[in-house]
Amino acid sequence: MKDRENEGTLPGPAVFTAPHSRRLFLKGMGLAAGATAILPTVAVGQNADAETEEIPGLKILGRGEQKVTLKVNGASRTVAIEPRETLLNVLRTKLGLTGSKEVCDRGTCGCCTVLLDGASIVSCLMLAIDAVGHEVTTIEGVADDPKNAALIDAFCEHDAAQCGYCIPGIVVRSSALLDENPAPTAEEIRQGLSGNICRCGTYTKIFDAVGSVSKGGRT
């Protein structure tokens, strides 16, 4: 997904023309802080027990960074992660997929909703390392899927977004809801979206948007 903050070049003095943004600045800060934080943990992860002990039925990974391959939006992505990193964190900061939003980071708001093997889940309450071997689809992948075109158009036509920060998670969840139940009733839509919070409160328009593509209206 294109990083909107980096589109175009700012006019003015040369000093401002370098591609910089709040996001890149924060990323840089994160890398600088991360580099010092990771070194000791790698050493701990490669402890003697982890390297030598063979226990049937148990794969010991340690705690350091390790290269894993995640299948995201149909592509295999190899990335170095620590076991403690959440899927949301890896998607956003290591794979550049910033459509999934971190809001509550406790599984309450639904803004980080992604599909795991087609089922909608909250990526903030899943370790990225647990996603190995599974298929992850983020809002970027959901948006590119032609079957969701009418759903996304409906969100625009119903003016369902105010600030819009919750909308990626709601679109992902709505897509899964329509997969589970192609013709949900108004009550089923409300219950189906009960794991997504919109603090602007545009719920009625969101429910109308999803309702307009139910009953087979989705392309």
Partner 1 sequence: MKAFDYAIASNESGALAALERGYRPKASGIDLLDLLKERTAAPDSLVSIADIATLKGIREEDGGIAIGALATLEETGAHAGIRKHFHALAEAAAEAATPQIRARATVGGNICQRPRCWYFRSADFNCLKKGGPTCYAVEGENSFHAVFGNGPCHITHPSNIAPALVAFGAEIVTVAPEDGGRTIRAADFFMLPEDGGIMKENVLKKDELVTEIRLPAAVAGQKSGYVELREKQSFDWPLVSCVAAFNGTKWTIVLGHVAPTPWRAKGSESLLGKAAAITPEIAEKAAAASDRGAKPMSQNAWRLKLVRAAVRRALLLADGKEID
Specify whether the backbone of 167 is left (phi greater than 0), alpha (psi in -120 to 50) or beta.
alpha
Query: Residue 179: what residue type?
Result: D
Cα–Cα dist 36/29, whole Å: 11
Pick between residue 6 and residue 181 the one whose CB is nearest to partner 1. Answer: 181
Pick between residue 14 and residue 55 the one whose CB is nearest to partner 1. Answer: 55
Pick between residue 45 and residue 161 the one whose CB is nearest to partner 1. Answer: 45
Shortest approach of partner 1 to residue 99 CB, angstroms? 16
Residue 215 is encoded by which pair of tokens? 């009953």
Pick between residue 21 and residue 108 the one whose CB is nearest to partner 1. Answer: 108
Shortest approach of partner 1 to residue 68 CB, angstroms? 11
Pairing of strands 119-122, 135-137: unpaired
Shortest approach of partner 1 to residue 28 CB, angstroms? 23
Shortest approach of partner 1 to residue 172 CB, angstroms? 9
Shortest approach of partner 1 to residue 1 CB, angstroms? 21
Pick between residue 105 and residue 153 the one whose CB is nearest to partner 1. Answer: 105
Q: How far is CA 217 from the centre of its chain?
A: 27
Shortest approach of partner 1 to residue 19 CB, angstroms? 32
State the first-to-last Cα distance of the chain, in angstroms, to the nearest integer. Answer: 23
Pick between residue 104 and residue 149 the one whose CB is nearest to partner 1. Answer: 104
Q: Map residue 194 onto helix, strand or coil.
A: coil
How many CB atoms lie under 10 A from the CB of residue 105?
15
Specify whether the backbone of 117 is left (phi greater than 0), alpha (psi in -120 to 50) or beta.
left
Q: Which residue, 168, 204, 144, 163, is CA-closest to 88?
A: 168
Q: What residues line the site for partner 1 (CB under 8 A)?
A: 41, 44-45, 47, 50, 55-63, 82-84, 86, 105-108, 110, 113, 116, 119-122, 124-127, 129-130, 173, 177, 190-192, 194-196
Give the phi and the psi of residue 99 in degrees, each rounded to 5.
Answer: -65, -40
